[in-house]
Amino acid sequence: MSATATASRPASQATSIAIIGALFFIIGFLTWINGPLITFVKLAFDLDDVNAFLVLMVFYLSYFFLALPAAWLLKLTGMKKGLALSLFVMAIGAAMFGQFSTQRWYPGALSGLFVIGGGLALLQTAVNPYISILGPINTAARRIALMGICNKVAGMLAPIVLGTLVLHGIGDLATQVAAADAVTKERLLTEFAAKIHGPYLAMAGILVVASIAVLFSPLPELKSSEANVEHAAHNASGGKRSVFQFPHLWLGVLCLFVYVGVEVLAGDAIGTYGNGFGLPLDETKLFTSYTLRAMLAGYVVGLIVIPRVISQERYLSVSAVLGMVFALGAYFTHGYVSVGFIAALGFANAMMWPAIFPMAIRGLGRFTETGSAILVMGIAGGALLPQLFVLLKQRYDFQAVFALIVVPCYLYILYYALRGHRAGMSAE
């Protein structure tokens, strides 16, 4: 244990889980606020859907570019200092987004989101393997499910908080803007954009306080490379010289890529999907919270049945099948019913990350930190698949486009659950 960890009495496992749970709450709030942010930037910066969806692209691409540097940084700082640093970086990004949004400078606002995503990349690279190896790897899905509950409770609150403080009455405002002359339109949009400054400045302050609290917390250092040695005899991880010698990891990266893509489509793009049916803007701004309620229900079920009733591998295959069923249900229905099926995808998606991540890092040994960072890079699926959706829906039926993107993704997730996670590994 490092000097940082020994400066105070080490935390019990329950205390460690509680601290990590608080960090997952922060991850959830800053991640799932992106759905209503799309609605905000579209009006505040007078954008079309393609440019508004740059919110997701910039945010999630930061994981791709910064996950590996985050892993290297964690080796230098240790986990506790790395976690504290990640929160401070996010505070800087939140302050940037609030300031540049108030000035209605969209590139600056996007740079703030990129910085927030960079802090989250550092945070995710540390906390996901940590919670996975805090106990037996075959029960990691249950612990991650508990973290997911913290994450999705925060995600449910994010649209409500932003909707109340910033987006209240946005439907009426959009009507006023559409009918206003150029001078009045600029005044209305400037006043609307300024409403984001206070909430994001408060968020930055909270993140600074959280950074200091983590730095002085009793959270111990935990070397994932030393703890994640299950199946070492089968995998000979100690004798392998490269992370490229673990095919189940790389198949897992692709699995996380498509999973995060469909999760973001179901959570952050659901408002745009609802707008395709002409549903009111004051309703669609809250649709993200419905997906997250379904995800919360999925986490609770997973927490109860894994591994007592069903293994995390088998539950992942069930989730993939449910995803295909709900996606097809959304395609063959319309209006609120179709939106309801999109929200139900949250239930199907809930236990995918908790299952995929520990399956993909299983047996990596000393390559666990690097493998975890590569997996976090797969979060870039949240940048590319929603952007693909919003581009294609301009030319084709948006329901058909949605189904044609997500159904193949769920088919691949099913493959990984059944066979892909065993690639290159001896029979367990």
Specify the CATH number of the domain 3-422. 1.20.1250.20
DSSP H helices, 45-105, are 49-52, 54-77, 79-102
pLDDT in tens for each of the 428 residues of the chain?
Answer: 333 333 444 557 778 888 888 998 998 899 989 989 999 999 999 999 999 999 999 999 999 999 889 888 888 888 788 889 999 999 999 999 999 999 999 999 999 999 999 999 988 887 877 776 666 666 666 777 788 788 888 988 888 899 899 988 898 999 999 999 999 999 999 999 999 999 999 999 999 999 999 988 887 766 555 545 544 444 444 567 788 889 999 999 999 999 999 999 999 999 999 999 999 988 888 898 899 899 989 988 888 888 788 888 899 999 999 999 999 999 999 999 999 999 999 999 998 988 898 889 888 877 877 888 899 899 999 999 999 999 999 999 999 999 999 999 999 999 999 999 888 775 44
CA distance 227 to 123: 19
Q: What angle do CA 286, 125, 95 make, to 5 degrees?
A: 55
- Check residue 278 and give its pLDDT: 92
- Check residue 233 and give its pLDDT: 42
Residue type, 194: A
Tokens of 399: 């329901």
- Check residue 133 and give its pLDDT: 66
Tokens of 246: 């673990």
CA distance 363 to 359: 9
Return the DSSP state at 276: T
Residue 419: count of CB within 10 angstroms of its CB: 11
- Check residue 8 and give its pLDDT: 44
Q: Are 421 and 298 in contact (CB under 8 A)?
A: no
Instruction: Say how many residues make up the chain.
Output: 428
Residue 363 phi, psi (nearest 5): 75, 15
CA distance 221 to 351: 27
CA distance 342 to 291: 7
Which tens digits make up the pLDDT trace of 317-364? Answer: 999 999 999 999 999 999 999 999 999 999 999 989 888 988 898 888
- Check residue 239 and give its pLDDT: 61
- Check residue 140 and give its pLDDT: 67
CA distance 427 to 291: 37
Q: For residue 170, give the nearest of 191, 151, 198, 192 by alpha carbon.
A: 192
- Check residue 260 and give its pLDDT: 96
Annotate 365-400 with b (16+ C-beta within 10 A) or e (fewer): bbbbbbbbbbbbbbbbbbbbbbbbbbebbeeeebbe
Residue 207 phi, psi (nearest 5): -65, -35
Q: For residue 275, give the nearest of 162, 192, 399, 157 by alpha carbon.
A: 399
Contacts of 2 (CB under 8 A, 6+ apart): 78, 80, 221
Which tens digits make up the pLDDT trace of 226-236? Answer: 545 544 444 44
Residue type, 327: A
- Check residue 426 and give its pLDDT: 57
CA distance 38 to 52: 6
CA distance 420 to 412: 9
